[in-house]
Amino acid sequence: MALTVVIADDEAAVRAALVDMLGEHPALSVVGVAADAEAAVRLVGEHHPGVAVIDVRIPRGGGLEAIAGIRAVSPETRIVAYSAADDRAQMSRILTAGADRYVVKGANAHHLVEAILETAEGHPRRG
């Protein structure tokens, strides 16, 4: 059975690219896509995915609110936060808030797939 994933990003082009990229991997199944924190929490509550991939700077609460909401509605869901910013202070806040992993966007597209799979297996690598 494929690992289920919810994606939250405010940019439609990024969401579409992530759906395409993750959809090509045989071990992953995207079950929901959101454009803001509130929608992400709602989708995670409905689907209880194995992993939620959350853009740190999404509207309607941002990554911190999304993480708190996801932890409340689906504590078993692992969270991979990702951002264009390689900011150590932000990374620390996000990981302290409950994300299992922090990935910098654009470094390597396949790095995100690896991060999702490793995090789902209980091998988060913080930072």
The CATH number of residue 29's host domain is: 3.40.50.2300
Question: The pTM is what?
Answer: 0.92
* Rounded CA separation 127/106 (Å): 15
Query: Is position 15 within any domain?
Result: yes
Query: Domain range holding 18?
Result: 3-120
Condensed to tens digits (0 to 9), the pLDDT of residues 28-85 reads 999 999 999 999 999 999 999 999 999 999 999 889 999 999 999 999 999 999 988 8
